[in-house]
Structure 1
Amino acid sequence: MSNHMITRENYNTQMTLPLDGKEEKTPAKRNLAPTFKPYDNRQVQMIYDIESLIPEHHVARVVDEMVEAIPDKQLFSHYKGGGRSSYHPKMMLQIILYAYSQKVYSCRGIEKLVKENIPAMWLSAMQQPDFRTINEFRGERMKAFMDELFEVMILKLIKEHYITMENYFLDGTKIEANANKYSFVWKKSTLKFEEKSKEKIQETLKHIHELTQLEAGTGQKESDQHTEITEQNLEEIAKEIEEKVETLTEEIEKETDTSIRKEKRKKRSQLKKSVKQIREDFLPRMARYKEQKEMFGDRNSYSKTDKDATFMRMKGDHMKNGQLKPGYNVQKGTENQFILFYTIHQRPTDTRCFIPHMEKLASTSLPMPQTVIADAGYGSEENYVYAVGDEKEPRFEFLIPYGSYVKEQTRT
């Protein structure tokens, strides 16, 4: 029985044997070579129609359509005749607007985009203005006619029935300035320091008057009558003291008595010290205070590194805590997701921006809205009176609640 036992290995071996007694032949595998599409970047290549590479609904086509709708006369009026031929303003405007849509803002970045990006190459008609040309166009020419072009775009949207200017939704946002947030100047502190400086100047002028004993001079008028101290008055006092110093110098040279000469030298030294204090301390300080007050205007603060920026309370941190940062208050009117008009203000509150914003809108060629909708941040008696008009005929309808309106609607 053991001689006829079949193990699993023998059984498997037995099953592999061919029935006819011949060995089974397995087909040999074919060795196929890999195939690739032809590739030769050294071969001359040519694009006959670069526009065919731009998708139908690409943003570049939108930019091209909007800019081409601008009358040439509006753009050409900002160029003088003669000289070397300039790049076409529509081409320059198109590549800049397209670059902005791609979040490219630097002149060198726009120059690179025109050389490497196919939509930008199409908009520029394969022309390649350098970064200096782009910077000059954007900083001078584009700055001059940008507001006018914005109005042309809005009028085109109205003509094509995208917007109607019937309902004007107004709101503001604060944009942080590119400035040092610790370099602030406060109006209240400036006025306080100016008053202290004037008190110090009055004491110095009184001391000078005691030294010089001027009769009916500027020093007597400043010290005794306490008139307003100005740069002109200080300059006159400084000149008068300098003349006194020259007189003392001549007297010292002629004087033979040693004790008298010593006394006059001491007096001259004190006068020289006073003149130096006026010219190197008081006059520069008065000039600085004057410049700061002119810079303030109706503002309460400004930044040293961006003097147009005003310190405003912003909710920029993750805890939503208000922080004072230099910035601008941008007011925007919208309809159907289009920005209809915008103004930039140095005032931190929306309430004080309402009338200037609407006045600037009225000065443009755009139609005035029928109804203005805004939040309670714009609700004030002054703004309501402005909307109603002087003759009790409303300039426009308005839907602007006041601050306590929602609270007054509750049952309590």
Structure 2
Amino acid sequence: MKYDHISFVNYNMNQLVLPLDLEILIPQNHLSIIVHEAVEKLDDTLLVQPYKGGGRPSYHPKMLLKVIIYAYTQKVYSGRQIEKLLTENIYFMWLSGSQTPDFRTINRFRSERMKDIIYQVFFSIVELLREKGLVKLEHYFVDGTKIEANANQYTFVWRKATEKYEKSLDDKYRQLALQIEHILEKEEKTATSMGLEEKLKETPITSEQIEQSIKKLEKHLETEPKNKEAKKAVRLLKKDYLPRKVKYEEQNQLFNGRNSFSKTDNDATFMRMK
């Protein structure tokens, strides 16, 4: 096959002579066939432009593109691994026409030639899936790409740690809430704390509850400004318990089902990279 002064290794899947016709082993709607059809629909001139010509004949760009895209769909990214699969996996063997480019050729092709057309290929594959009725355009597609965020590993907040510290804070608040009621009982000669301990155990603690306790104590201090226990409790609630509770509530919202997030990049989730 010739494109001006550029020559490629012959690649005609209809003229292959193989010990076994691999195509009969491939299901009709298999992903490898869809990749093959999508790449075949690409304009040849688009693939040939990056080649300067001269030297030995190159592997056909469509063949290399099919092999690499199919490898990516199988979460295979290593050039050496792709090279190995070209001699072991029937889908790779069929897509390559039993040709076996080495890992250097594969890596050079995808790093120097494929980067400008990869999105067009993916769009073609999605369109073919739609035409075959395998997907609808209103479906959302999320790939398995892992993007390393610009966030230091030491900035991450962990859900288990937040749960642990929030539970400890809630327990402390429950104890302080009982003390507050005892303080008010002494001054007002009421019995409001009866059954409060059991009630507090059953009720989730929120920042609104802590704010209510502060307001209750401040109202009490208007009539009893010299009550040291009440003053101490207000300071503790305002400077420690309330800010921490608000922080934990915000963190729980940011987790949104995740186990961690970064303080500097809230969208980042901690992930161990290879």
TM-score by length of 2: 0.44
**Which of 1 and 2 has greater Rg?**
1
Higher relative contact order (CA 8 A, sep 6+): 2
Higher helix proportion? 2
Higher strand proportion? 1
